[in-house]
């Protein structure tokens, strides 16, 4: 009985969390909307909606006996009631405490189960601050208790009226809708979708069986035709043997068998023809039902982009205020629907692009005024359908654009390209370098940006979804990221090719064209075999070589005409020579399992109608492999191994615990480490010994980390030493102070990770 009660309570709390998430998301959106209201009528409407959400959340908390959440929601209601009754003009500063309380509620409701279920003191203090800012006849210091009692009474009356007059019709509406809708977990939906997609394999197999039966029928019909041609000779033999009375005569037995054989062939031909027709009919029926089932399941799993973008206005608001910038977010095409699984995967890349626009692209109001721009920057997210089965996302800003010279300088410094290669790149090619790991134009490394990993991860995630990402930028005008994604996962059309005895599937979206060439079409340019395609030379690579497949024939000469598949990805184009191009067909992508989650050059596998498992090519990887010299793998392995070369690092930290921790982390990576107990000790050590980098705390006695950095930058001998500040100070003013004094990186202790520290050190020295 106790177990049943626990299970019921667990389900009840899970339901409460789902409901609370919806209320808090809507409440947060209304708070952002409230800041942008132009008229008092609009303001009153939004306040009323926010009031209802807080009231509904309070009721849900009461249902699960969560008194702490209920109490905080009660206070929220009171504040909204005050806003509504006073009809005051809201402002970002006034609403900041409301946002803090919503964030606190989210943290409490979805925090660790082991933590105490109580709202942080800062949330209550935030509401008190908001209460102080509300205008009224009673001074806050003198009559706060009286005002709270009055607001509580007003709120209770308002809540009662709302529940009597407005909540009842809403309940009726919800009850009516409830009979047509049902809540089901996303995991169950995903499982059903995966099971439905398995019918694609059945459809392929029924098509294969129908083809085999038709081929068998053709063979039997040919057999029957040949038999019919022999009938005159058989009749002649029958007439010659007609006088034989002995049924045991060999000739009579042969004639009897031939007569049976004739009837059997006719029956087999008729039966095989019937079976072939039935197989065709079954295939058409299964294909139709499978398509309908998949289309219906796709509709179930399709969600509008608006569901993903609901939290973005608040994200933009919080980040822009933290960075001291004014930003407006515009969203177009949020009603377009896409596979929910793709929405989940694209959320983090989209968040990073928006953060990138705020942190790198948009200027501060002062800078924008100096450039004769409006003080408020604009970020635009536009979603549109493209080519029927694809969707295009455009994330743009009207900021300063990408500094091409800084990108090239960083790419050369990190070894991504050489100086000679940098000189040959055009502007578009230089822009694409920002998607390489380690490339960042940020002047300082912080918890938000500067490590040069974010855009590399964006590209990897987008390409794992079968999409592409590119960037366009104009200096002083802004930048635009263009993402193309498939509408659904798993199913796609592919081109089946053969290399030796092995079959492979090339995703059709990456196949620009399949052509036949001869040896006369092949030329050598810069020691590479190329062919001329659309007036441009395109590298020619044997698919066997790119995949490191054994070549039993050891043949490298083109004999006669051969098949070439021209593949495109990331604006790269390569022609791959294959032994045979078989057909184009729809395939269902299967992953390779947890043990082979990332195999280079392969995205997964597909099962053909013949039950043969065929690898599916990862075209992006393949193009990288084909254009890399044979020695690249060895060189890459050398690059991956961190080389410290005995470099010396000075760590300044007044806490002995933190000092020991940092020392152990850095020493374990192979660096030579000296420590200092504060900034003054560190600067004295720098004057007597040589170091390649300084890691410093900020808040230290005698000399702070800010002062130490400023002293280092002011000394001609020490000015070029990189400085990393590791501190608990995480406000925007502190980060800006770190930039002003010349720090190269600013790592907040609350988000400290030793791998991040070592990665930053490797980047700076």
Q: Tens of pLDDT along 23-73?
A: 788 888 878 887 777 777 777 788 888 877 887 787 777 767 777 787 778
115: left (phi over 0), alpha (psi -120 to 50) or beta: beta
What pLDDT does 758 receive? 81
What pLDDT does 419 receive? 82
What pLDDT does 170 receive? 38
Name the one residue in this structure whose structure tokens are 């497949």. Answer: 549
The counts of H helices and E strands in the chain are: 26, 23
The DSSP letter of residue 519 is: G
Question: Which tens digit of pLDDT belongs to each residue from 201-244?
Answer: 777 788 888 888 888 888 888 888 888 888 787 777 777 766 55
What pLDDT does 755 receive? 65
What pLDDT does 158 receive? 39
Count of alpha carbons within 13 angstroms of residue 562, beta-carbon side: 25
At 605, list the tokens.
């596998």
What pLDDT does 750 receive? 61
Cα torsion 619, 622, 623, 628 to 10°: value is: 170
- Biggest CA-to-CA distance, the chain: 136
CB 351 within 8 A of CB 309: no
> How many angstroms separate the CA atoms of 467 and 428, rounded?
19
What pLDDT does 337 receive? 83
Q: Which of 269, 277, 150, 275 is nearest to 218 (CA)?
A: 269
What pLDDT does 175 receive? 38
> How many angstroms separate the CA atoms of 105 and 304, rounded?
27
> How many angstroms separate the CA atoms of 42 and 50, rounded?
12
What pLDDT does 171 receive? 37
Question: Which tens digit of pLDDT belongs to each residue from 353-392?
Answer: 898 888 888 988 989 998 889 989 999 999 988 866 788 8
> How many angstroms separate the CA atoms of 367 and 323, rounded?
13
Question: Which tens digit of pLDDT belongs to each residue from 261-279?
Answer: 888 888 888 888 888 888 8
Low-confidence residues of the chain: pLDDT under 70: 1-12, 63, 84-94, 111-186, 190, 194, 197, 241-249, 387-388, 437-454, 489-491, 526-527, 551-557, 570-571, 591-598, 609, 627-645, 730, 732, 749-755
């Amino acid at each position: 009985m106790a177990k049943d009660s626990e299970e019921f309570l667990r389900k009840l709390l899970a339901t409460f969390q789902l409901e609370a998430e919806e209320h808090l998301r809507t409440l947060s959106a209304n708070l952002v909307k409230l800041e942008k209201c132009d008229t008092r009528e609009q303001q009153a409407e939004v306040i009323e909606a926010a009031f209802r959400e807080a009231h509904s959340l309070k009721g849900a908390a009461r249902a699960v006996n969560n008194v702490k959440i209920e109490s905080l929601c009660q206070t929220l209601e009171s504040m909204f009631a005050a806003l509504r009754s006073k009809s005051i003009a809201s402002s970002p500063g006034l609403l900041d405490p409301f946002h803090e309380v919503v964030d606190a509620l989210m943290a409490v409701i979805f925090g660790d189960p082991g933590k105490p279920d109580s709202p942080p003191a800062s949330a209550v203090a935030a509401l008190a601050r908001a209460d102080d800012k509300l205008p009224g006849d009673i001074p806050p210091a003198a009559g706060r208790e009286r005002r709270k009692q009055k607001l509580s009474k007003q709120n209770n009356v308002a809540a009662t009226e709302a529940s009597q007059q407005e909540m009842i019709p809403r309940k009726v509406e919800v009850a009516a809708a409830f009979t047509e809708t049902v809540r089901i977990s996303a995991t169950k939906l995903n499982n059903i979708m995966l099971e439905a997609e398995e019918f694609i394999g059945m459809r392929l197999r029924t098509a294969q069986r129908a083809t085999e039966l038709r081929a068998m029928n053709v063979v039997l019909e040919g057999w029957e035709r040949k038999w019919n041609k022999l009938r005159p000779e058989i009749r002649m033999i029958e007439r010659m043997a007609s006088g034989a009375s002995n049924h045991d005569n060999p000739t009579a037995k042969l004639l009897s068998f031939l007569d049976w054989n004739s009837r059997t062939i006719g029956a087999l031909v008729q039966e095989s023809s019937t079976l072939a027709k039935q197989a065709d009919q079954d295939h058409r029926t299964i294909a139709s039902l499978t398509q309908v089932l998949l289309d219906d399941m796709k509709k179930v799993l399709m969600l509008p982009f608006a569901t993903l973008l609901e939290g973005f206005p608040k994200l933009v608001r919080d980040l822009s205020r933290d960075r001291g910038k004014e930003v407006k977010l515009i969203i177009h095409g949020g009603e377009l629907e896409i596979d929910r699984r793709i929405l989940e995967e694209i959320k983090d890349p989209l968040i990073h692009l928006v953060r990138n626009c705020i942190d790198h692209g948009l200027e501060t109001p002062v800078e924008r005024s100096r450039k004769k721009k409006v003080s408020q920057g604009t970020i635009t997210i536009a979603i549109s359908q493209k080519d029927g089965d694809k969707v295009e996302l455009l994330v743009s800003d009207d900021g300063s654009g990408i500094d091409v010279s800084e990108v090239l300088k960083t790419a050369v410094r990190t070894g991504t390209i050489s100086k000679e290669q940098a000189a040959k790149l055009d502007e578009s090619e230089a822009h694409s370098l920002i998607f390489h790991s380690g490339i960042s134009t940020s002047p300082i490394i912080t918890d938000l940006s500067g490590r040069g990993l974010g855009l590399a991860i964006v590209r990897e995630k987008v390409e794992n979804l079968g999409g592409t990402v590119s960037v366009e930028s104009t200096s002083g005008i802004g930048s635009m990221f263009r993402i193309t994604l498939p509408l659904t996962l798993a199913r796609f059309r592919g081109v089946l090719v053969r290399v030796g005895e092995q079959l492979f599937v090339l995703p059709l979206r990456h196949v620009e064209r399949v052509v036949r060439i001869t040896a006369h079409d092949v030329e050598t340019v810069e020691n590479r075999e190329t062919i001329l395609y659309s007036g441009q030379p395109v590298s020619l690579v044997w698919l066997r070589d790119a995949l490191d497949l054994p070549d039993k024939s050891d043949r490298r000469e083109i004999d006669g005409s051969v098949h070439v598949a021209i593949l495109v990805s990331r604006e790269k184009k390569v022609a791959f020579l294959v032994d045979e191009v078989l057909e184009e067909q729809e395939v269902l992508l299967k992953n390779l399992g947890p043990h082979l989650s990332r195999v280079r050059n392969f995205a997964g596998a597909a099962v053909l109608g013949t039950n043969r498992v065929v690898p599916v090519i990862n075209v992006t990887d393949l193009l990288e492999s084909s254009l890399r010299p044979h020695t690249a793998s060895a060189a890459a392995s050398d690059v991956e191994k961190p080389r410290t070369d005995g470099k010396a690092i000075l760590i300044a930290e007044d806490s002995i615990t933190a000092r020991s921790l940092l020392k152990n982390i850095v020493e374990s990576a192979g660096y030579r480490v000296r420590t200092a107990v504060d900034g003054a000790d560190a600067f004295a050590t720098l004057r007597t010994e040589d170091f390649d980098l300084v890691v410093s705390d900020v808040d230290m006695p005698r000399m702070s980390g800010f002062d130490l950095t400023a002293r280092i930058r002011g000394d001609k001998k020490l000015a070029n030493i990189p400085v990393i500040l590791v501190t608990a100070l995480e406000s925007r003013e502190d980060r800006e102070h770190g930039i002003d004094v010349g720090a190269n990186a600013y790592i907040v202790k609350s988000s400290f990770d030793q791998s991040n520290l070592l990665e930053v050190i490797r980047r700076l020295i």
